[in-house]
Amino acid sequence: MLRTTTTAAVRAFKPVQVSAIPRRAYSEDAFKKKETAEEAKYFRQKEAEEIKKLREVLAAKEKEIAALKKEKK
């Protein structure tokens, strides 16, 4: 006679908590905001450098125009 007994180990499992909002969402948002701010700062600096160079070129051209007008008179 075969022994056909089953032993079932029953454990109490905690249900897995699934949340639509990650726990560290606040830190990800903070990093994203900081990254966006750093990018904006970088591009503002680059644009300011470009504007400075263009103003220097404009000033040089205005001097050149003034000199040409003097010669013409």
**Segments forming the whole domain that contains residue 46:** 25-73
When divided into structural domains, the chain yields a total of: 1
pLDDT tens digits along 20-73: 655 655 677 888 999 999 999 999 999 999 999 999 999 999 999 999 999 987
Residue 71's pLDDT is: 92
Residue 62's pLDDT is: 97
Position 16 in a domain = no
What does pTM read for this prediction?
0.54
Which residues, 6 or more positions from 22, have their beta carbon under 8 angstroms from its beta carbon? Answer: 28
Position 13 in a domain = no
Q: What are phi and psi of 11, to 5 degrees?
A: -115, 150
